[in-house]
Structure 1
Amino acid sequence: MSASELFDRIANEIYQQGFCVIRNALPEALGVALASEVRSLPEENFSRAGIGRQADHQNIETIRRDEICWIDNTTAAGQAWLLWADGLQQALNRRLFLGLFSFESHYAHYHPGDFYKVHLDAFRGQQNRVLTVVTYLNPDWTDADGGELLIYPEKSNQPLLTVKPEFGTLVVFLSEEFPHEVLPTLTDRYSIAGWYRINTSDSNRVDPAF
């Protein structure tokens, strides 16, 4: 599948149902580079993930237990990933008129036993994350390894989707509409989580503010 065909499929499924899950979607060379990089990064590059943003940020290990490292363009793999994500952003803006303005993403490392309880990536009217993107960097993942992503409909405790964190699988969904969780993993689990944002700048603040 070409990049154009892939981006068309993502746009169509987001338009029709608000989410998409595509196996083997990430270009193989890019996936291999990212999988190699995340495993070679020094441990001190990772920090314990929390919940909430800026002043509301908290580390609550009963809700979330994983480590993250933000991705920038200082490495070849990071540059290639951000270039690919920019291509997707442009395609979605052309096809769906979403007004996506910026993109942020991080590696996530779940050690054995780590999890992330049910949560939303954005709340209506309170944040400007519009679209969530997740991709997995785990070759040879098996059912016995756990760590599945569960995506729920709004106001329901019955999963809509169960996604295995298999290498190259891509998940995209509307950030405000789909609660989701990561089940406990039984082995080291690597992924990238990213968010496309809109610009909420006004006369009193410039967005995005990092």
Structure 2
Amino acid sequence: MAIWNRRKPKAASKYPVPLTTHQLWMVSLSAPVSRDRDASRTTLYPFTRIDDEKARRWLADQWEITSRDALVGRLDDLSRTGYRTRARLRLGFEPLAWDAGLYVDISRRGFACGMLSEAEAWTALKNIVPAVVRSYASWNEYAEHYLLGRMVWRDNLQGTPDANFPAPQAASDAHLKSLLDPANKASPWNLAPWEAISHPDHAR
């Protein structure tokens, strides 16, 4: 069998309906989180190709999430307090963007491995939107707080077994710069401008 016949099917072939502008905006909250080459930033499914097992392994390895109850509990924690409460002691404010990005990323992976239905995943994403819209007025502001939250999280890993786990801050900085670049036509932040979530939804 030819090697290309063994490749996993594209996510777009299983979920062919393009996202509306509001849906893309919600998915885009997790755009800073994954820099993997196979990450999808324009579908609810988190990868460009169907790989449910990868989503399941990632949730188990990175978050110790192995059940629906554990997933729901983690999402509840991120929506209520997350890492931002601890970050407040250092920054003087709570960087919601870091928790929001993780919340959406985990929701999408939970959908990918069947812990959440598609409808439940969209409901989860909708739940985080009001707090994000109240907190920020642009993708630039969101990106700035995401980076600050990530910085505090990385620093808190010093002296632990996970100290060498995260990618260097420079890698995250470069990824955010690319997402914010007006010339990057593939950036979901350019495809779904920040103000779009405050206007009526429409097909793209």
The alignment's TM-score, normalised by the length of structure 2, stands at 0.26
User: By percentage of residues, which structure has more strand?
Assistant: 1
User: By percentage of residues, which structure has more helix?
Assistant: 2
